[in-house]
Structure 1
Amino acid sequence: MSLKKYKPTTPSLRSLVQVDKSGLWKGSPMKTLTCGLTESGGRNNNGRITVYHRGGGHKKKYRFVDYKRVKNNMVAEVLRIEYDPNRTAFIALIQYEDKTLSYILAPSKLSVGDKVVAGSDVDISFGNTLPLKNIPTGTMIHNIEYIPGKGGQVVRSAGSFAQLISRDDNGYCLIRLPSGEDRLFPENSHASIGILSNIDHKNIVIGKAGRSRWLGRKPVVRGVAMNPVDHPHGGGQGKTSGGRPSVTPWSWPTKGQPTRSKRKHNALIVQRAKKRI
């Protein structure tokens, strides 16, 4: 996919940059693989806002994506590549030999007519799913299982991939995640081959505030514009820059500092992600 720019006939189109979706399916999604989606607006079951700056946005349908790939050694053909409003990566509609339809996460080089298969001894090609113990070291993978058989839970966003570094004699494989963290995964966990599609997603430019509202994102008020009672950056005479290292309204550090609790330390983490500057 390439980036798409527009003639500046309006102020918002002047800076708008989107991903060219001309090669994607232009019709409706498969009805049997979708359902209605109710947005929470950032509220929990008590009606209190727990995640701020969410709400509104365009109506969406949820697509059931197969993260488990349970049909072992059954070849499937890619019928079409589709846009999914619920995720950044594209999805692929596949049809198995028994005529069963399913959605999977589409790797970047997967195209219509390709064959994909899941199993323990299948080829190392884009879209195939194998146990980690059967994947060569150095391979780029995505949709990795934390627990064997549970389905892929990590490395599922657009353009992301992890790399299989090594394996040991204790039944674990060392994988470098997109964050830079090195973590051990059980060798029986499954993963899919390839880099996820929509690599240019990180280069899009929204262009105007209204387009963010269409995506369900509400405006964010700066902390330095608030009063001291509302935010640690608030108050002061005249305009200020905060006067302290950037924090959230609850005084948690931002700007890349790790915030993972030491009490939740996972023994399978070999090396944590490096601090971003």
Structure 2
Amino acid sequence: MALKNYNPTSPGVRGLILIDRSALYKGRPVKALTEGKTKTGGRNNKGHVTSRGIAGGHKQRYRIVDFKRRLWDKEGTVERIEYDPNRTAFIALVNYGEIDGKASVAYIIAPQRLAVGDKVIAGKKTDVKPGNAMELASMPVGTIVHNVEMKPGKGGQIARSAGTYVQVVGRDRGMVIVRLNSGEQRYIHGNCMATVGAVSNPDNQNQNLGKAGRNRWKGIRPLTRGVAKNPVDHPHGGGEGRTSGGRHPVTPWGKPTKGARTRHNKATDKMIIRSRHSTKRKG
């Protein structure tokens, strides 16, 4: 998808750069594949704010996306590519025809170069074409994939955001070695499913929303810098004149932030071959 630039006819449009979604389907989603979605405003069941910076936003319906791709050896046809307000990637409506006398359709994450009318299929081993899904053990080394499972049957968890992908780089004792966008290399079980291709909408990161109001439409509230607060409200607060906040940036509750590593005791750490922190990436 291309980017759209706007003439500066108003302050909110000056510098505005958005994704051109004119090629997407313009109607409503399939009702049977959607469900209601309530907003929390970042509050828990006691009404206390547990996630700051969340409030408002446009009303949305959740699209039920097939992350598992376990309908094996049943070819489907891409009917349309749709916008999904719940994710940065586009979604594709796939029609599998009749199964047990009932029409079967499903949403999948749309990969790049997937067009209306294309055929997609999932199975233990399939053709290496965008949109086809198969077990990682059957993927040729070097294949670009997305929507990768971490446990067989759990559904895709890795590389689901716009423009992301994972590369299969090797095999070892029933496990498959993959390289993530972050530079991390890790083992994944060969029975896990993955979909061929990179995720659609790679230009999502190049958007410029142009005004704070567009972030509010997304449900994102403004956050006040700690250095702009008083000492009673934030560890960075107070001080005469302007200050930078000190050498050790922390959250309002005193926990290290801005790059401090918080990951520990993860069950999947043993699957990591090379951490994304092991070497500085060049680029």
Into which bin does the TM-score normalised by the smaller protein fall? over 0.9
1:72 has 2:76 as partner: no
1:77–1:114: 8 Å Cα contact kept in structure 2? yes
Task: Determine the structure 2 residue equivalent to 1:256.
Answer: 259
Task: Determine the structure 1 residue equivalent to 2:272.
Answer: 269
User: Aligned equivalents of 1:253 and 1:104: distance in 2?
Assistant: 38
Deviation of 1:222 after TM superposition, in Å, equals: 0.5
Matches within 5 A, 1:69-218: 69-98=69-98, 99-169=103-173, 171-218=174-221
> What secondary structure does 1:267 align onto?
helix
Query: Against the structure 1 CA distance between its residues 45 and 183, is the aligned structure 2 distance closer, same or farther, given a 3 Å change threshold?
Result: farther
2:56–2:219: 8 Å Cα contact kept in structure 1? yes
What is the root-mean-square deviation in Å for CA atoms of aligned residues? 1.6
Which moves more between the two structures, 200-209 or 261-270? 261-270
Partner AA of 1:130 in structure 2: M
2:97–2:105: 8 Å Cα contact kept in structure 1? no
User: Aligned equivalents of 1:227 and 1:152: distance in 2?
Assistant: 44
Identity among equivalent pairs (%) = 51
Structure with a larger share of its residues in strand:
2
CA offsets 1:217-249 (integer angstroms, 9 cap, x no match): 001101100122322211111111112233322
CA offsets 1:168-203 (integer angstroms, 9 cap, x no match): 02x211111122221111010000010000100000
2:126–2:134: 8 Å Cα contact kept in structure 1? yes
Which moves more between the two structures, 259-268 or 204-213? 259-268
> What secondary structure does 1:11 align onto?
coil
User: Aligned equivalents of 1:120 and 1:45: distance in 2?
Assistant: 43
1:162–1:175: 8 Å Cα contact kept in structure 2? yes
Deviation of 1:265 after TM superposition, in Å, equals: 6.5
User: Aligned equivalents of 2:266 and 2:163: distance in 1?
Assistant: 32
Deviation of 1:70 after TM superposition, in Å, equals: 1.7
Structure-1-length-normalised TM-score? 0.95
Partner AA of 1:208 in structure 2: K
1:27 has 2:27 as partner: yes
> What secondary structure does 1:15 align onto?
coil
Gaps (5+ residues) in structure 2? Answer: none
Residues matched between the structures, number: 276
CA offsets 1:77-106 (integer angstroms, 9 cap, x no match): 000000000000000001003231100000
> What secondary structure does 1:200 align onto?
helix
1:233–1:244: 8 Å Cα contact kept in structure 2? no
